[in-house]
Amino acid sequence: MLGTTITLAFRAIMRHKLRSFLTTLGIIIGVAAVVTMVTLGNGATAAVREQISSLGANILQLRPGQGFGRGGGGPRPPNFKPQDVTAIENQLTGVRAVAPQAQTSATAIYEGSNWSTTVNGTTAAFFEAQQWKLDSGRLFMPEEEEAGKAVCIIGNTVRQNLFRNMNPVGKQFRIKGVSCQVIGVLTTRGQGGFQDQDDTVVMPIKFVQRRFTGDRDISMILVAVDDAYETSAVQASLEQLMRERRKIKEGDQDNFNVFDTKQISDTLTGTTTILTQIVAAVAAISLLVGGIGIMNIMLVSVTERTREIGIRLAIGAVASEVLMQFLVEAIVLSCLGGLIGLFLALIASIAIAPLMQVPFIFDVRVNLIAFLFSAAIGVVFGYFPARRAAALNPIDALRHE
């Protein structure tokens, strides 16, 4: 009986092709919108995780102030001193590497090319903390760090804009009026923390302090936590140590902040996930609209086929068979709409993901749930018209004009 019912349902659908297509249009749009939004949202979440993880695993960023800025309208919080770096190295357990940083912006010039970039003064511990390897060349020598030599390691963005296709290792270029020798090129990292990590010139911190910033202040300290230790425990010890060194009284607010890159990643990932769910929920409303469309058309179909229903009931068909026939028609319509919607969502996701610069992540679970939900829409909104058809009186149905 089920096979015959499905055959009759397909015949009824094919009898009015345009109407059937328009009936399923709401389901098609709903499924395509929901799956596309969720797929792109998952890609955006993955892109955020990748960008944040590129900042380094188990990294604590110690900055002056109560946030990324100085906050409030009070005095500028003091920067860190070289003695703070030594204290962290000697007094904290679970620390893998400590890298001080002094940053400034400058224009680099090589022959006819120039490029505005970020100058990052630090030590060789920076590369260990960030687990950032070299593409070519070498790291700073201890004597170069101690003497503050004019040597530098450049990112791939700087290399492309200054040296084009040449090998820059060993070449001299000028940055803020100072001649600097390239001793290494970093591997490509791409975007991280909303900035191009490859757009950097890394130099010994003493050279940057002497020639660029004019003081011995440190604007940020990277603390790499050993994998065997809990980051939260090391962070608590670091905060306590800095309160002592900066002579912050009990009850007073910190004039520094410690950022855990993992916490930043979790926060941004949670935000993108919530936004994806909200957008998907809005798009899912069109599924309900599509279900109402199916119910409306099925009610019209019942009215049009009243005599047909009466004949079937008169020659021996039971009410359950009539109910099943119209219910199967509604389910077939919604399932066809779901399949077409999934196909359109696949094409849209593949096309839009590169434009948004996010990876395309095919989620079988999301696609399966969307299809099953479209089938459920057919059951829910198709039951009332089917029930109405099954409840018709055969004599009244035969008399219907």
How confident is the prediction along the chain (401 residues), in pLDDT tens digits per residue? 566 667 766 777 777 778 778 878 888 888 888 888 888 888 887 877 776 665 556 788 899 986 544 444 557 788 999 999 999 999 999 899 999 999 999 999 998 889 999 999 999 999 988 888 999 999 999 999 999 999 999 999 999 999 988 899 999 999 988 899 999 999 988 765 557 888 999 999 999 999 988 888 899 999 998 888 888 899 999 999 999 999 988 888 888 998 887 776 677 677 777 877 777 777 777 777 777 877 877 777 776 666 666 776 677 666 777 777 777 888 888 888 889 999 999 999 999 988 888 888 888 888 898 888 888 888 887 777 777 777 766 665 555 55
Query: What is the amino acid identity at position 58?
Result: N
CA angle 311, 312, 318 (to 5 degrees): 135
Q: Are residues 242 and 102 in the same domain?
A: yes
Domain termination residue (choose one: 204, 225, 254): 254
Alpha-carbon dihedral 212, 214, 220, 221, rounded to 10 degrees: 100
* Assigned domain for 261 exists: no
Residues 148 and 180 in one domain: yes
Same domain for 244 and 322?
no
Convert 106-130 to b/e letters by CB count within 10 Å (16 or more is b).
Answer: bebebeeeebebbbbbbbbbbbbbb
Final residue before a domain boundary, out of 219, 254, 289: 254
* Domain match, 179 and 244 both: yes
Residue 67 lies in a domain: no
For residues 155, 161, 163, 166, the Cα torsion angle rounded to the nearest 10 degrees is 80
276 assigned to some structural domain: yes
Task: Say if 115 falls within a structural domain.
Answer: yes
| Residue 83 identity (one-letter amino acid) | Q
Based on the fold, state whether residues 143 and 205 are members of the same structural domain. yes
pTM above 0.85, yes or no: no
Shared domain for 279 and 242, answered yes or no, is no
Q: What pairs with residue 106 in β-bridges? A: 117
Q: Are residues 95 and 149 in the same domain?
A: yes
- Domain residues for the domain of 42 are 2-51+266-399
358 found inside a domain = yes
Q: What is the largest CA-CA distance in the chain?
A: 106
Q: Are residues 248 and 289 in the same domain?
A: no
The residue among 254, 281, 314 that closes a domain is 254
Look at the chain and report how many structural domains it folds into: 2
For 163, residues 6+ apart whose C-beta sits below 8 A from its C-beta are 110, 113, 171
